[in-house]
Amino acid sequence: MSDETLLVVRDLTTTFATGGGDLTAVNHVSFDLARNETLGIVGESGSGKTVLSRTIMGLQPRVNTTVTGSSIIDGFEVVGASENDKRTIWGTEVAMVFQDPMTSLNPVMRIGKQIDEALRVRLGMSRKDAKARAIELLELVGIPSPIERYNAYPGQLSGGMRQRVVIAIALACSPKLLMADEPTTGLDVTIQAQILNLLDELKERLKMSVILVTHDLGVVATRTSRIVVMYAGRIVETGTTREVFHHHRMPYTRALLESSPKVSNKSHTRLVTIPGRPPNLLNLSPGCSFAPRCKYATDQCHTERPELRPSIEPGHTFACWNPLPVNSEATLP
Amino acid sequence: MSSSPNLIVPNVSTLGVKEEPGQPLGLFFWICVFWIGLNLFGAIFANVLPLQNPLYENFNAINAAPGLHHLFGTDDLGRDILARVVYGSRVSITVGLGSILIGYGIGAPLGMLAAYRRGRFDAILTTVMYLLLAFPAIIATIAVLSFWTPRSLLKIIVVIGIASIPLVYRVIRTATLSVATKDYVIAAKVQGATDRRILMKELLPNIAPIALSFFLIGVATIIVLEGALAFLGLSVNPPTPSWGNMINEARTVLSQNIWLALFPSLALCLFLIALNFIGDRVRAHFDVAENKL
């Protein structure tokens, strides 16, 4: 592992014991993340991207959950670590920005206090220093008149403002890795761009790595250097953003790209959808999980599961028996 | 018109800040608070208030109707009903508050812990509590109080208090469960907050409105229960007045003396209505969904 690598994920598997049997939400996922890199994790709802991002930082539910494999953040093995040990890296090594800013702030605590907490408890700052730093952070994330806002309750702020506060809290202890789990899904489109630009800018300024979990390919297209495409808990294609957008080999990636609406389309163009539904994770076929919805599927696809294999560009891998030809192009969203 | 442009300039100090709507509590709420306050005042200061001796039997004024000398009339032994109602509130309120405090003292921490920790601890504790709930509390308290003699106020409080633990546990656990899965609790956790901090700073303030509301309703329920026990002769021993045993005494002389039944019943009834209304209002006031925040 080179010094440039911040996060190493190997064979990470998360299994939930449910009434209907064991459900493997994340299945043998492996990837690396370099320092100061932005990685996008994309996939449909239920593809395991949120569970993956939470398992990476050791945030899986306490009960009925088994995690195997390895997730090493800056030399700290998260899998198998006790809650107390994980607490030493939460906040300082890795922090999280949540999906819905309406529920990720404590409604009965002043926002300033919520930022203070981390500073005082984790960094042992004095009350006065913590307040000064909290106001600095509010300013950093672009909140106007931060001194007055310090005393505001979350209910007094708009969604975009709240998400900025959530980001300020996440940044409080200067984490090296920021997990952003659909950070813009709960926001207006105009605010979405602002928040994403803010994350980009902060990443550069604070030299963080960012993992951007989203189902919106438009979000990852310009803001990530690499993409991991997930389906039914597994990585089905991964590579540089450019590579995945222009030379994807996996039909699922193509289907995802085609189903995002394009501004260049004429009005009233029907949206392209992927036929069928994501598979039932309790009852996966022995073959490729995408085969039932795939128009290129052959008998082999239904009986034998394809492993990730390299494409032409180094670092670009995909899992498919009948990959698209190398020069296939899909229009960028 | 030189002043008109000012009308459309937004107020800078509130820019981007939504006003908190917060359902108004209303006049009736404050009347209820006043009424509870008056009752508490009477219960605490009964000794110093210009009341007659609640135990003094005036045989010249038996079953007297309300009048100048006895504002609420007298009972079948010539005792002043006003004094007895006020002194009687002591028993009712002490039992109501004391028991629910025991219930909260034990049930609330257990409920919060169970909902936060989940797992085996929660499963076992919840099963035990639900088993206890399945057993009718009134029968249990009657059984225990029948055999645990001599009866005293403290014993009654302890027995009802223990009987209320599973109820409090269930309410607090459910309330905590719904808060514990919120993102802000997870957010606090990934900022490295300890369990203790999460319980005290994230969970407790957010379940406080429900806890307070159920506390008030619990007091009301227990006062009724104490009334029922007193009616059955299982509460404090006469001649100490309580609302319940006054109503019980009134039963035998109902045809001669309506006042003896009326005033303690009225006191009990109004006190309960006020408590329930405050409890409900408090919940609605803090309920984010109902406020459409």
Q: Dump pLDDT digits (tens) for B227-275.
A: 888 888 887 777 788 888 888 888 888 877 888 888 888 988 999 999 8
- Helices and strands (H and E) in chain A: how many: 11, 12
| B143-167 mean pLDDT | 87
B203 found inside a domain: yes
- Cβ atoms of A319 and A290 within 8 Å: the answer is no
B283 found inside a domain: yes
Contact yes or no for A108 and B288 at CB 8 A: no
Q: What is the CATH number of the domain that holds B263?
A: 1.10.3720.10
- With a CB cutoff of 8 Å and minimum separation 6, the contacts of A10 are A30, A69, A70, A71, A72
Stretch among A173-187, A222-236, B21-35, B60-74 having the lowest mean pLDDT = B60-74
In this complex, which of B182, B190, B205 lies closest to A96 when CB atoms are compared?
A: B190
| A184-206 mean pLDDT | 84
| B175-182 mean pLDDT | 87
Rg of chain A, C-alpha, whole Å: 21
pLDDT of residue B7: 39
Percent of chain A residues topping a pLDDT of 90: 17
Q: What is the mean pLDDT of chain B?
A: 81
| B106-131 mean pLDDT | 91
| B146-165 mean pLDDT | 87
Quick one: tokens of B231? 């009616």
pLDDT of residue B242: 85
Strand order in the sheet with A209-214: A94-97, A177-181, A209-214, A38-42, A226-231, A234-240, A317-318, A309-310
Q: Which residues of B touch A62 (CB under 8 A)?
A: 117-119
B23 found inside a domain: no
Q: Which residues of B touch A166 (CB under 8 A)?
A: 187
How many Cα atoms occupy the beta-carbon half-sphere of A64 within 13 Å?
Answer: 13
B68 found inside a domain: no
B15 found inside a domain: no
Question: Does residue B254 or residue A112 have the better pLDDT?
Answer: A112
Residue B18 reports pLDDT greater than 60 = no
Stretch among A166-170, B27-31, B46-50, B193-197 having the lowest mean pLDDT = B46-50
Q: Which residues of B touch A63 (CB under 8 A)?
A: 118-119
Residue B9 reports pLDDT greater than 50 = no
| A260-279 mean pLDDT | 79
For residue B154, give the nearest of B235, B228, B268 by alpha carbon: B235
* Closest chain A CA to residue B208: A108
Query: Measured between CB atoms, does B189 come within 8 Å of chain A?
Result: yes
pLDDT of residue A140: 86
Contact yes or no for B188 and A95 at CB 8 A: no
Stretch among A28-42, B2-16, B55-69, B170-184 having the lowest mean pLDDT = B2-16
Query: Measured between CB atoms, does B288 come within 8 Å of chain A?
Result: yes
- Best A55, A76, A108, A150 member to test B by mutation, with max B CBs in 10 Å, is A108
Contact yes or no for B20 and A156 at CB 8 A: yes
- Best A50, A57, A106 member to test B by mutation, with max B CBs in 10 Å, is A106
Residues of A with CB under 8 A from a CB of B: 57, 59, 62-63, 87-88, 90-92, 94-96, 98-100, 103-109, 117-118, 121-122, 144, 148, 152-153, 155-158, 161, 166, 169-170, 172-173
The domain tally of chain B equals 1
Contact yes or no for B190 and A166 at CB 8 A: no
| Alpha-carbon gap, residue B222 to B232, rounded angstroms | 15
Query: Measured between CB atoms, does B183 come within 8 Å of chain A?
Result: yes
Residue position matching structure tokens 């030189």? B2
Q: Place A308 in a pLDDT band, splitting at 50, 70 and 90.
A: confident
Contact yes or no for B182 and A144 at CB 8 A: no
B198 found inside a domain: yes
pLDDT of residue A311: 84
Strand order in the sheet with A21-34: A21-34, A5-18, A65-73, A76-77
Domain that holds residue B228: 81-291
B236 found inside a domain: yes
| Alpha-carbon gap, residue A2 to A75, rounded angstroms | 11
ipTM field: 0.75
Q: Which residues of B142-152 are buried (b: 16+ CB within 10 A; e: fewer)?
A: bebbeeeeebe
pLDDT of residue B19: 41
Q: In 10 A of CB A3, how many CB atoms?
A: 7
Q: Which residues of B touch A92 (CB under 8 A)?
A: 192
Contact yes or no for B188 and A155 at CB 8 A: no
B37 found inside a domain: no
Most confident region among A19-23, B126-130, B144-148 by mean pLDDT:
B126-130
| Alpha-carbon gap, residue B281 to B287, rounded angstroms | 10
